[in-house]
Chain A
Amino acid sequence: MVTQANAQEAAAPADTTHAAPAVDATHADPTADTHATTEAHGGGHESGVFPPFDPATFPSQLLWLAITFGALYLVMSKIALPRIGGILENRKAIIDADLAAADAARQKTDAAIAAYEAALAAAKAKAQGIANQTRETIQADLASKRSSVEADLTAKVTAAEARILATKTEALTHVDEIATETAQTVVTQLVGDVSTDSVRAAVAKAKE
């Protein structure tokens, strides 16, 4: 009866007498309150049955559950979840790549620092080498110059000493002559002529 009316309503939703059969039903059976209420709202396929246990609704529910849940499963497994998974994987890949790049850059920096320090040490060593070499060269130069000057001076001193000695020797040889001449002159003045040779011999004798 009421269900029939509802079926008609469903077939013609624009029906303006929508509430009329329901109201009539309520008035027709005022004693069975819950029963009538259920009917009045037009739901129950079998009024009086607790709705969740009404088997008449099972086919529709199962049909629509299969359709909707199947559609949900398809949309999730084919579109939504691969897409979200792709986003997450892509992000993870980018983060990993960035971290790897940062690590590589850090290693490069370390290598650059090490290379710089090696170059610096080498340059320092080289500079020290050059300084040492220059100093040694200068010292050697100085030493050679000094030794040559010293040798020169020594030679000069030696020569001078030799000259002095020669002059002295020469002077000493002249002493005899002077003594001879002086003695000859003195003797000549005193005694008269005397031979140079005898004077010289006398001088030589006196010297001994």
Chain B
Amino acid sequence: MAGTDPIHQFVIQDIFSLFTVGGDGTEGSGLHFAFTNSALFMVATVAIISLYLVLSTGSKSLIPNRAQLLSELVYEFVANMVRSAAGTAGMKFFPLVFSLFTFIFVANMLGMVPYFFTVTSHIIITFALSMLVFLTVVIYGFAKNGPKFLKLFVPAGVPGYILPIVAPIEFISFMSRPISLSVRLFGNILAGHITLKVFTGFIVTMSSLGFLGILGSALPLIMAIALTGLEFLVGAVQAYVFAVLTCMYLNDAIHPSH
């Protein structure tokens, strides 16, 4: 039954325990730290990105080979994204956006491999990443602009008597950014993987119902194949969306007046 349980793929298992902070020593108390399957895939994600980018650019060829060309294309892609959304001043956040984009992208792609764990299917991961962006925006925004950063909530050209309505809306929309950013990524990946698992589960369930069931299981099979392609697309698009929104939020920190 475990093979068709759509939730099972999100279970986090300890590979080995590290330490427990606080608690009374009994099981389940305190903060338990462990090297989990999630951690394993985070390490794998970072290792893949780092090794690929470092090794493919090792020769520093003037005329790139294929591996180096891919690295350069990703670099140019993210660099153009940052430059167009946040301007040249935003390029100081280029490593952050590049890390976010590649991390989410590779984690999503790894998650598409059967039996692999999807790091981004956990709300705490996406929320941590979006809080990283949010705090970067707030801290840098105040450090660079001081109180002028609050002009972010006062759109230029709005008459004074509307401001009591507009400013709270702007404030709420600003404060809800980390939630929308994290839930968008988490929800897309989680829902996609559950749907995929449910349809592939149908194949198994129907196949066990005899000859007609095997024939009928072609329908969820087709669906599963289509969903697999869609999930690759969603994984790539969500990484892109996360990076683009990060750039736009950073732009607010750099140029707070609308």
A-side residues, CB < 8 A to B, are 3-4, 6-7, 10-11, 13, 33-34, 37-38, 40-46, 50-54, 56-69, 71-73, 75-77, 79-81, 83-88, 90-91, 94
- Residue B257 lies at the interface, judged by CB distance under 8 Å to chain A: no
Please, which residues of chain B bring their CB within 8 A of the CB of A61?
A: 12, 36, 38-39, 122, 124-125, 128
A179→B47 CA distance, assembly (Å): 156
Q: How far is the CB of B191 from chain A (nearest CB, A)?
A: 11
Interface of A is mostly: helix
* Contacts A6-B13, A60-B34 known; 15 new A-B pairs at CB < 8 A: A3-B27, A7-B17, A38-B11, A52-B124, A60-B14, A63-B39, A71-B46, A76-B50, A76-B95, A77-B99, A80-B71, A81-B75, A84-B72, A84-B75, A87-B57
Q: How far is the CB of A174 from chain B (nearest CB, A)?
A: 121
Choose among A4, A33, A37, A65 the residue that contacts B128 (Cβ–Cβ < 8 A): A65
Q: Is the CB of A38 within 8 A of B8?
A: yes
Please, which residues of chain A bring their CB within 8 A of the CB of B15?
A: 10
How many A-B contacts at CB < 8 Å in the complex? 173
Interface of B is mostly: helix
Contact residues on B (Cβ < 8 Å of other chain), bracket: 35 or more
Q: Is the CB of B31 within 8 A of A64?
A: no
Choose among A41, A58, A80 the residue that contacts B50 (Cβ–Cβ < 8 A): A80
Q: How far is the CB of B18 from chain A (nearest CB, A)?
A: 8
Known contacts A75-B54, A88-B76; is-contact A69 B13 (Cβ 8 Å)? no
Choose among B28, B64, B94, B125 the residue that contacts A65 (Cβ–Cβ < 8 A): B125
Q: Is the CB of B75 within 8 A of A43?
A: no
- Residue B246 lies at the interface, judged by CB distance under 8 Å to chain A: no
- Residue B190 lies at the interface, judged by CB distance under 8 Å to chain A: yes
- Among residues 173 to 188 in chain B, which have CB atoms less than 8 Å away from a CB atom of chain A? 186
Q: Is the CB of A80 within 8 A of B57?
A: yes
